[in-house]
Amino acid sequence: MKRIVVTGSKGGTGQSIVSVLSEAGYDVVGIDLLAPEPFGESDYIQLDLRDATGVNDALAGADGVIHFGSPPADCNRGTTEAFGMLAVAGFNVFQAARNVGIKRVAWASSIEVYGDMEKQPQLPVTEESPLAPPGIYGTSKLLLERLALDYARWYGMSIAGFRLSRIIYDTPFGRARLKQIVDDEAIGGDCLWSYIDARDVATACQAWLESDHQGTEVFNLAAANIHQDISGKVLLEKYGYGTVPIDEPESQDQTLFSTRKIREMLGWQAQYDWRTMLKPPSNQE
């Protein structure tokens, strides 16, 4: 059984990653800022990832690490604090992994590295699309992508960064949030109406850990469709993207945030669809 450390393990996505890996037979150790349960958790470490020595100790003996221990945005934080929680924490994880001999790392990058979608020269967005992060959050993620490239080159590590679309959670709050963005089309425009279930994020991380691909990669991560019943082309024209050229989609609800690379390279497929998530439980129908 392989031992995997998951940072951000008490966050929405982190919980899904821990659950999916545990069900797959991995020995999972979680790291987060939050206090452990009242009677303790043998598989959990409360730790601030800005503590380099603590991170080094926490990763010792692990076979892989999944780094999702960063805030989802830089809102309500000063620039220095945001940079520390994003770039410094990420560096500490990469460096600690190198120090203790971990070769495979998966981590959370962001769709924000692409910047304003209205300024993209072509849709769908691919991993080769221009990068123009709008603030310290996206820039920190981009810095870590570059750092991952160098760590792979310097130390023979294999590191995958996932440029995440809007993450949806299978919880009452998550389904309520999903319903909100489905009911109000305009909300989803910043992510091109793309989304990804946290459980699908988990299986993507697992696919990387179990693959034999070497070096570093970045992958867009989204469901195969958009979270609306009308076509992406109609939405683009309706919300001010009408001048952006778009390749002919295979279906009218095909995502505008291309995931072809991860599907072809790792054989990964998203399993969770927004329509199914919004259906009431069978005992309420």
* pLDDT per residue as tens digits for the range 253-281: 799 999 999 999 999 999 999 999 998 76
Find out whether 55 and 49 touch, Cβ atoms under 8 Å.
Answer: yes
Distance CA 50, CA 59 (A): 14
DSSP for 152-164 reads HHHH--EEEEEEE
244's tokens:
């952006």
Domains contained in the chain, number? 1
Q: Looking at residue 85, which CATH number applies to its domain? A: 3.40.50.720
pLDDT at residue 249, as a whole number: 64
State the Cα–Cα distance between residues 179 and 181, nearest whole angstrom.
6
Per-residue pLDDT reduced to its tens digit, 117-163 = 988 999 999 999 999 999 999 999 999 999 999 999 999 999 999 99
Structure tokens at 115: 């910047």
Q: At what angle do helices 89-100 and 136-155 cross, to 10 degrees?
A: 10
Summarised one tens digit per residue, pLDDT across range 13-30 is 999 999 999 999 999 999
d(CA 81, CA 170): 30
Among candidate residues 131, 205, 125, 137, the one with its CA nearest the CA of residue 165: 125
207-255: per-residue pLDDT in tens? 999 999 999 999 999 999 999 999 888 999 999 887 888 887 666 679 9
> Which amino acid belongs to residue 5?
V
**Whole domain around residue 34: which residue ranges?**
3-284
